[in-house]
A and B are shown apart, each in its own frame.
Chain A
Amino acid sequence: MKGTHLGELEELVLLTVGSLFDEAYGVAVMDEVKEKAGRDMNISAIHAVLRRLEEKGLLKSRMGGSTNERGGRRKRYFTLTKEGKLALDQSISLRSSLYQRIPDITYNFST
């Protein structure tokens, strides 16, 4: 298995799955990414990222029940695992700790 390093897109999808909680399947994740991040992605790319995250152990999946929509085909729902939540916590705390260390003087130069 590849390393557990979290890519930018992977992190975005992981956050989206977390925010959708129990309703995260391929198309829903794609819509959410488009709506919140403004990124128009193909459904196949979303599938690839979701599967990669599952292989890394950050997501787990289950098949939903059969309904009348989508021609009776079931959806695969993804949810965060404990490791997934931990990875998100780590990446966000790393970002905020680095952000806190930006000296105020930087803003003076950039204006």
Chain B
Amino acid sequence: MNNQPPKWAVRFLKWYCNPYFLEEIEGDIYELFERRLLVGSFKIARIRFIWDVFRFFRWSNIKRTNSTYRTMNHFTLFANYLKLGIRNIRRDLVSSSINIFGLAIAICFAIAIFIFTDIMRNMDSFHSNGDRIYQVTNLLDQDGNKNLSGDSPLMLAPAIQKDHPTVEAASRLEFRSASVKFNADVFDELTVFVDPDFFRMFDFDMITGDRNVLDDKSSIVISEAKAHKYFKAEAPIGKEHSFKFLNGLN
């Protein structure tokens, strides 16, 4: 039998121990091991060796940073940089405040431009027909004052579909506030009227139900949040709402 301590225990010690302390710890354990070999059996010395390895398994021996043994104190150096920076700013307050103000403005503009281009490039880009959908705008010439607005006459959609075969589909959007009643609950909501072509033009995902539901004038489409609001956990399909609009329509 070779009188050596178990290899796996030595390997474990070398693995967890901070390299800085490894030599002294290993040396002391070895010395005790050899001494125990002289007085007792190999088996007992071996068990005591393993026990010692586990007793040294404590955080102060494992952690790799140590306030006393670190060769350079980085934190103090960073604190020094900070102090020098503050002193340089104070030495010439006018020019440094101009610099800081200018930098702040520049960063503001950079962020604003980033947000703007992000919206321009990516807003609603999930619609597969996005490049073929256009909004009709309205340019009014009021005695030389040109006013651009996003709305157009309601009758335009059916007329343009009839007269121009290049228009494949058209949908009008009309916003109305309404009081919505379901059972005993009444809420004020903003509702939108659209043409049946709406879901053929835009790719909004339907969670449940038929995409052609808008062909039926008495049906509505609601968001998931609204479904939870009115029906809680119940299935929303087939339920009945009653609407009351501000101009008196029902």
A34 at the interface (CB under 8 A from B): no
Is the beta-carbon distance between B52 and A51 smaller than 8 angstroms?
no
Is the beta-carbon distance between A43 and B32 smaller than 8 angstroms?
yes
Summarize A's interface: helix, strand, loop or mixed: helix
Is the beta-carbon distance between A70 and B30 smaller than 8 angstroms?
yes
Is the beta-carbon distance between B68 and A69 smaller than 8 angstroms?
no
Is the beta-carbon distance between A44 and B27 smaller than 8 angstroms?
no
Q: Which of A47, A63, A75 has the most CB of B within 10 A?
A: A47
B124 at the interface (CB under 8 A from A): no
Collect the chain B residues with CB atoms within 8 Å of residue A70's CB: 27-28, 30-31, 34
Q: For residue B27, which residue of chain A has the nearest CB?
A: A73
Contact residues, B184-213 vs A (CB, 8 A): none
Partner of B28, one of A1, A43, A48, A54: A43
Is the beta-carbon distance between B23 and A43 smaller than 8 angstroms?
no
Is the beta-carbon distance between B56 and A47 smaller than 8 angstroms?
yes
Collect the chain B residues with CB atoms within 8 Å of residue A48's CB: 58, 60
Known A27-B28, A74-B27; contact A44-B67, beta-carbon cutoff 8 A: no
Contact residues, A1-50 vs B (CB, 8 A): 1, 25-27, 42-45, 47-48
B22 to chain A, nearest CB (A): 9
Is the beta-carbon distance between B23 and A74 smaller than 8 angstroms?
yes
Bound together, the chains give a CA A101 to CA B29 distance in angstroms of 45
User: Using an 8 Å CB-CB cutoff, how does the interface string of B50-65 with A read, 1 for contact, 0 for none?
Assistant: 0010011010110000
Q: Which of B21, B25, B31, B61 has the most CB of A within 10 A?
A: B31
B34 to chain A, nearest CB (A): 8
Contact residues, A41-69 vs B (CB, 8 A): 42-45, 47-48, 51, 54-55, 63, 69
Contact residues, B48-89 vs A (CB, 8 A): 52, 55-56, 58, 60-61, 67-68
B144 to chain A, nearest CB (A): 81
Contact residues, B225-248 vs A (CB, 8 A): none
B141 at the interface (CB under 8 A from A): no
Collect the chain B residues with CB atoms within 8 Å of residue A74's CB: 23-24, 27
Collect the chain A residues with CB atoms within 8 Å of residue B60's CB: 48, 51
Q: Which of B23, B24, B29, B61 has the most CB of A within 10 A?
A: B24
Is the beta-carbon distance between A71 and B24 smaller than 8 angstroms?
no
Is the beta-carbon distance between A43 and B30 smaller than 8 angstroms?
no
A76 at the interface (CB under 8 A from B): yes
Collect the chain A residues with CB atoms within 8 Å of residue B23's CB: 63, 73-74, 76
User: Using an 8 Å CB-CB cutoff, how does the interface string of B14-53 with A read, 1 for contact, 0 for none?
Assistant: 0000000101111111111010000000000000000010
B33 to chain A, nearest CB (A): 10
Is the beta-carbon distance between A73 and B30 smaller than 8 angstroms?
yes
Is the beta-carbon distance between B24 and A27 smaller than 8 angstroms?
no
Bound together, the chains give a CA A63 to CA B52 distance in angstroms of 22
Collect the chain B residues with CB atoms within 8 Å of residue A44's CB: 52, 55-56, 58, 61
- Interface, chain B (partner A; CB < 8 A): 21, 23-32, 34, 52, 55-56, 58, 60-61, 67-68
Q: List 10 A-B contacts (CB under 8 A).
A: A25-B24, A27-B31, A43-B32, A44-B55, A44-B56, A47-B61, A51-B21, A55-B68, A73-B23, A73-B26
Closest 7 CB pairs of A and B: A73-B27, A44-B55, A76-B24, A26-B28, A70-B27, A44-B56, A70-B30
